[in-house]
Structures are given as C-alpha cells and as structure tokens.
Structure 1
Amino acid sequence: MSADYPHAGVLGAAFQQRAAQRLGGTDELLERTYPGDPGTRQPVHTVYLPADTFTADTARQWGIRAAESVAGIGVRALGERVAPEGVAPELIDQMVRAVEHKLTTEPIEDLRLDFEDGFGDRGDAEEDEWAVRAARTVAEAVRAGTAPPFIGIRFKCFEAPTRDRGLRTLDLFLTTLVREGGLQEAGMSEDGLPHGLILTLPKVSALEQVEVMVEACEQLENALGLPAGRLRFEVQMETAPMILGPDGTCLIPSMLHRTSGRVEALHYGTYDYSDSLQIAAAYQSMEHPAADHAKAVMQVAVAGTGVRLSDGSTNILPAGDEQQKLGAWRLHARLVRRSLERGYYQGWDLHPAQLPTRFFATYFFYREGFAAAAHRLRVYRSRSVPGIEAADVADEPATARALARFVHRGVLCGAISEQELQEGADIGTQELFALAHPKAAVPAASTTGGN
C-alpha cells in the first residue's frame, strides 16, 4: 500500500496500469481531435463581393458607404432603434462612438473575393485573368495596410461541371500571391501569404470533395515552398447530404477528423441549403426551422474540435427609402443578435449598409452582458476579495470557462477594452485567456478589433 493512499482499496496499481494501456489510444485521439477553441480572434462577419470589384481601397469605401447609409436617420437614432429593450442611454452613446470609430478604422473584418455565385461563368480566359489580378490586388492592399485582417477567395465548387475551374482559380490565385505578391519583401509574412488568408470551398456534398481539397493544399505547399499545413480552408455547408449522408449518418465529423486539421470553419449557406430542401423562396431565412436544425447539427459536430461556425446572411438589404431601410436594419440587428445568443459568433454581410447594424448588435450583445459576467468572474476567482459582496452564485469551472470565453470574445472584437476588463473583472487579458481556453497556449499578444 502506497504512503500516498493510507486506506486500502480494491483497484491497485496493476489495474491502473492496464487502464492506462487500454485507454492510451483514446487519450491520444481526444487530445488530437478535440483540442478546444484556440482562443484566437474570430471575425464577427464575412463580407462577400464579386472578385472583379475588389480594389485595395474597398474596405475604406465600404466604411464610407456604410456611414452614408445612416446619414438620413443618424447613427444615434439607429442605435436607439436597434438597441435591446431597457438599455441605458449612456451605453447607447458609448456604442454609437464605437460604431462610428469602427466604420472609419476597420469596417470589414473578413473579406471574401467571390469567384463562385458572385462572379459566375465568364469563360476560362477571363477568370484566369481575374484570378491573377485578384492575387496582385490583395498583395497591394496588404502592403498598403488597407486589407482587412482576414481576406481570401471563394472559388467554384468541386462538383463535375465546375471542378476544373475551381482548382485552376485556386492555383492561379495562390501561385501568383506567393511568387509575385512581394509580401516577403514588404515584411508582411514570412511565407509570402497574408497572415489572415482564408480559402473557402463551397457547396460541399461529399467527404471526397474535401479530401481532394486537402490534396490540393498539400501539392500547392510542396510546389510553392510553404510550410506543411499552412493552407487551411472553410467549408460552406449548403447541401442536405452534409447533414444526413447517403449512409444515414452526418458527414461532418468524418470530414473534420480525416482532413489533417485543415478545416478551420463551417459556414452555413442560407439560400443554397434552403433551396436544396425545396423551401419556398419567400420562407428561406436564417431562422427557418430547417436552418436551425442544420446549424444545431453543425454546432454539435464541431464541439471541442476548434473548428469555428458562421451563420449565413439575410438578403433583405437596407437599400430602399428610409422606411424600408429601417425595417431591414431592425431585421438584420435582430438576426445578428439571435445568432450570437445561439453560439454562432460570425455571419455574412452582403451590403455596406448592413455594417452599422452588424457592429451595433455585436457590441450591444457583449456590453449588455459584461457587468454580470465580470462580477461572476471576480466572485469565482476569489470569494473574499475586499469590496465584493458575499457570493451570490456558485459557478462551476465549466460555467467560469463559459463566462471567460464570453468576455474574451468581447475583448477580441473590440466591444470591451482591456482597461474595462481590468476595472470590471479585476483580471488581465492573459489570465482571462488562460481561464477561457485552458488547453490553448497563451498568445504573445492579443489582436483585437481596435475599438
């Protein structure tokens, strides 16, 4: 009997050793396939625009157009109309300043140059030209400091009619970006690619399509001298077989666990998925029961894997008269808030006028819940800190992690400043990160939304 265990038991060292041997493979599998969220910044939205319309000044121009879109009603009035009920006027004032600042400094967080639906079929010669030009323009924007922090392309899907075209556009874009982009000389990236490069594979309906994408990434890395694993990609969840495959199972877990960790996000495609289920056009929506079911399956499938989720878009754009715009803004703000409450921290935006409500809804979500979350974190970390009332909630470690992740996301997107974090929760960013993401390595520095 060990001195560490003075009381006799039935299960001894021999059984513990057998258990360790039997479960060693399981331990390795769990560590490898369920690493948890990395705790890095996730953009709050993705903006899609046709690849041939992108310029190095696109992000700034979208910010200008977004501000112009609310000029008639005023940013303050818009904030009042989309604020949650009961929000204090001083918080609205604070969020107005934050949104105005955001539109002038970082109006787009994630930009996708679209060679799929937004570009169409223009023939090989024209798409070849634009794939090369897009790479050069992205490099120009990165060098000039005008590129959004996350940027990339969506190429055509790997179904038979568009497979060759999709692979060729991917190849031309990346090859040009590495060989001609000049990013190494500009000191922007050691491997010649933007730090926030994102590639998007649309309309996936079979595991084999994702496996081909993995093989393409491996070959491109080898040919272009990129580090192994440098190229990762998003999968757009737009077809019914991704939720229920031909064998009666969901394809997503196999797709994630058999692709060497290259899949970094799943994006829900509202209208393609709705169409695949033959939902009438008038009822296609991010909040249709079929959409909620698909996203719930996606959410369970990626839990613990570190793969991020993004909700889709609404095609009701604030582009009419003031009454139409106000209705569209209220709808957009409500849908953004709805997604956040359900754990989808990213969505798609299709028009500059959607940016104000994207940021209003996002900032209100984190600011509205910050005070309570900060209090509970302080109580959890120390039940006897002077000035804190007796514990009024007994949070478990899992709940404390959830509180910390909520606050950490608020810091990363710019809704909560590091000073406010310290004053409100009595915790620094690195300690907050460690509490929120105990499996991840603490980053050297946080990249926030800058608000």
Structure 2
Amino acid sequence: MLTGSFHWQPVHTVYVPAHRWSVRTVREWGEQARALLEEHLAGPEELAEVFGVPLGLARAVHPRVAAKLATDPIEDVRIDFEDGYGTRPAEEDGHAEAAAEAVLELHRTGGLPRRWGLRVKSFADDEERSLRTLALFLERTGVLPGCTVTFPKVLEEPAVHRFAERLPAGAGFELQVEDPRTLPFLRPGLHERLTGAHFGVFDYTAALGLPPHEQRLDHPACDHARHLMQTAFATTPVELSDGSLAAAPASEATADVHALWARHAQLVRHSLGNGFYQGWDMHPSHLVSRFATVYAFHLARYDEYAARVRAWEEQRQVGGVLDEPATIKSLAAALRRADSALGHAG
C-alpha cells in the first residue's frame, strides 16, 4: 500500500463536566449532533455553502460526516473535574466514583471511546484535591485500554514529576500549556510517560493580558505558543492538540447554527494548516463542524499528494514539479494521516 501504516491519533478530545457524565453521554452527543446535521445541513449543497468548499468535495464529505456521527461520534473524551466542573468539595468524591462506574459500564458494553480519561484539577489550584480524585477514579477503573489523564495549568517542571509519580502503572498523561511559564521547560524527554501536550487558549491569552475579545485560537500569540510546542516535541512521539471554541449556537435557528459552524470550521482549518491535527470540542454542535472540516481538509488534496508520491517513486514529474525528498516525506506523512482520520487505515 502506498501510504503504509500510521499511528492513530484522535482528531478531537471532547470535554464533559464530571457531574454531567454518564453511560448515556456518548450516545446523547451523537444523537444531538445528528439531529443538528439533519435539520440544518440536509445535503452536500448546504455543506458546500456553510463550509466554503466545492460542491464535489461536499458530496464526498457529507455522507462521511453522517456515518461518523451515527457510529463513532466521539473519538476521545475527558471527564472534566477542572474548569468545566468547578469547585464542589462536598460532591467531588461521589462524582469521581460515579464517573468511574459509568466508564466501567461503557467498557463492558463496548461503548467507551477509543481514547478516554479524566482531567483533574491543577496543582496550582488544589494539589491534594487533584490527587484524591485521580486515586478515587483510577482505583475503580484501573488502566483500561485508551486511558489518558490530563494534567492542567502546569506552571513548574517539578509538578510534572510529582504528578507522574502518582499515576498507576501503564497510565500515560498529557499536560496542558495554559501559561507562558510552561513553555520554557517543554523539551524532549521531559517525562517518559508524557503522551501529549494540549494548548489552552483562554488561560494562556488571559495570562498574557490580552483583551477578552482577542482570546481566540487564531491570535498570533497562540500561533507563537503552538510553534514553540512543536519545536519542543518535534523529535518525540508526544501528540499535540489545539484548544477549543468556547461557544455554542446562539439559538436553534439555522442562521445561528450555521454561524457557529462557520466560525468553528475557520478555527479548525487554522489548526490543521499549522500542523495541529487534534483539538477540543465542547458542545455536540462542534462534532458536525469538526468532522466536516477535517474530512474536507484531507480529501481536498489526497489525490494530488498520492500522484506526486507515485511520480517520485517512478522518477516522473507532475506538472513540472520536482519534489525534494523532504517534501516527499511530508506528502507521505500527510497521506498516512489522512488515511487514519478518514478511516482508510489505522
């Protein structure tokens, strides 16, 4: 096969506040997203208009989105005990135990996403509470396949090592880059159990003192932070993820749903174009725009990239282009990534 195998990375991580998580959450998100698709994006023509893609491409994307929402609406989920959950000292123990029981039931019935885990509180906010929830949750679930723990607002390197020491054997973790103080200690080999680094747009831009209306993923300051993350982990298997759009449709009116999808798609395209192939989704509506944008991004150039790789292998030119070996390597990687995202392989 031309493109070979490729390590699967989810295209998104869905964050669900812990007190709202249940065995029904994944199914309900899929149902809500499908209802939005059917009501506000009935066919390829509407998709082409909302997402600004050619009609021919929209015809290939629309059925893929519908099938994805019906069969695998959430690729990666975090049960959130941090920002989305807030401070609930009298309830957090119970919510941690109930969330773990729901995970076990979903695992038993085959309904658990391929990646799953929890986000605990930051050590900067409450280290004791963070570790207690981690222990209560993982003591019940164990380290099931796909388990990942998210460690937010990491402000000092020693906290990374203290946190990792409390993880059970077999559990990996991802840290969140939500403050400029995190960037200086990012490097290859930061910790052997580190599997990912996720960018947190709102805390990061607030820490820089940006005005509220400039707290957006496509701000140049966020581009700078993401490029530093890429530089720090370029030679490692650490997966990188962008952050979120903290917005839902203003109403159930088609115009408002389309406006939300168009803005989310713009941000997802910005992430993809800058080499961040995963991002956060915070509302069922985001599933539609996430998958539509990701599929359109990969399908738009798939045939061209494949032709250029084949031509290089056969020592032919395509349209007068003489690709460098480094470009061929990039083209082949893009094809493998597309196969993974589109479900061709991996």
TM over 0.5: yes
Q: 1:61 to 1:379 in 2, by over 3 A?
A: same
Match of 1:23? none
Match of 1:307? 238
Match of 1:202? 152
Q: Residues 40-439 of structure 1: matches in 2 within 5 Å?
A: 40-76=7-43, 77-85=45-53, 87=54, 89-123=55-89, 125-159=90-124, 161-178=125-142, 193-217=143-167, 220-221=168-169, 230-243=170-183, 250-253=184-187, 256-259=188-191, 261-320=192-251, 321-383=253-315, 392-414=320-342, 417=344
**Cα displacement (A) at 1:376:** 0.8
Q: Does the Cα contact within 8 Å between 2:308 and 2:318 map onto a contact in 1?
A: no
**Cα displacement (A) at 1:378:** 0.6
Unaligned runs of 5+ in 1: 1-37, 179-192, 222-229, 244-249, 419-445, 447-451
**Cα displacement (A) at 1:390:** 6.8
**Cα displacement (A) at 1:202:** 0.2
**Counterpart of 1:164 in structure 2: which amino acid?**
E
**Counterpart of 2:185 in structure 1: which amino acid?**
L
**Counterpart of 1:172 in structure 2: which amino acid?**
L
**Cα displacement (A) at 1:319:** 4.2
**Cα displacement (A) at 1:91:** 2.6
Q: Does the Cα contact within 8 Å between 2:13 and 2:76 map onto a contact in 1?
A: yes
Q: Does the Cα contact within 8 Å between 2:37 and 2:66 map onto a contact in 1?
A: no
Match of 1:182? none
CA distance in 2, matches of 1:109, 1:365: 18
CA distance in 1, matches of 2:291, 2:144: 25
Q: Does the Cα contact within 8 Å between 2:177 and 2:198 map onto a contact in 1?
A: yes
CA distance in 2, matches of 1:269, 1:78: 32
Q: Does the Cα contact within 8 Å between 1:383 and 1:391 map onto a contact in 2?
A: no
SS at match of 1:112: strand
Q: Does the Cα contact within 8 Å between 1:158 and 1:209 map onto a contact in 2?
A: yes
SS at match of 1:175: helix
Q: TM-score, normalised by structure 2?
A: 0.93
**Counterpart of 1:365 in structure 2: which amino acid?**
F
SS at match of 2:171: coil
CA displacement 1:381-403 (0-9 Å, x = unmatched): 2237xxxx778433233222211
**Counterpart of 1:366 in structure 2: which amino acid?**
H
**Cα displacement (A) at 1:305:** 1.1
Q: Does the Cα contact within 8 Å between 1:141 and 1:147 map onto a contact in 2?
A: yes
CA distance in 2, matches of 1:390, 1:232: 43
**Counterpart of 1:96 in structure 2: which amino acid?**
H
CA displacement 1:191-226 (0-9 Å, x = unmatched): xx3211110000001001101112112xx33xxxxx
How many residue pairs align between the two structures?
A: 340
SS at match of 1:312: coil
Q: 1:378 to 1:51 in 2, by over 3 A?
A: same
**Counterpart of 2:129 in structure 1: which amino acid?**
R
**Cα displacement (A) at 1:314:** 1.1
SS at match of 2:195: strand
Choose 1 or 2 for highest CA Rg. Answer: 1
Q: TM-score, normalised by structure 1?
A: 0.72
SS at match of 1:290: helix
**Counterpart of 1:111 in structure 2: which amino acid?**
V
Q: 1:239 to 1:394 in 2, by over 3 A?
A: same
Q: Does the Cα contact within 8 Å between 2:115 and 2:148 map onto a contact in 1?
A: yes
CA displacement 1:258-306 (0-9 Å, x = unmatched): 42x2111110101111111121112210011211111111111111111
SS at match of 2:59: helix
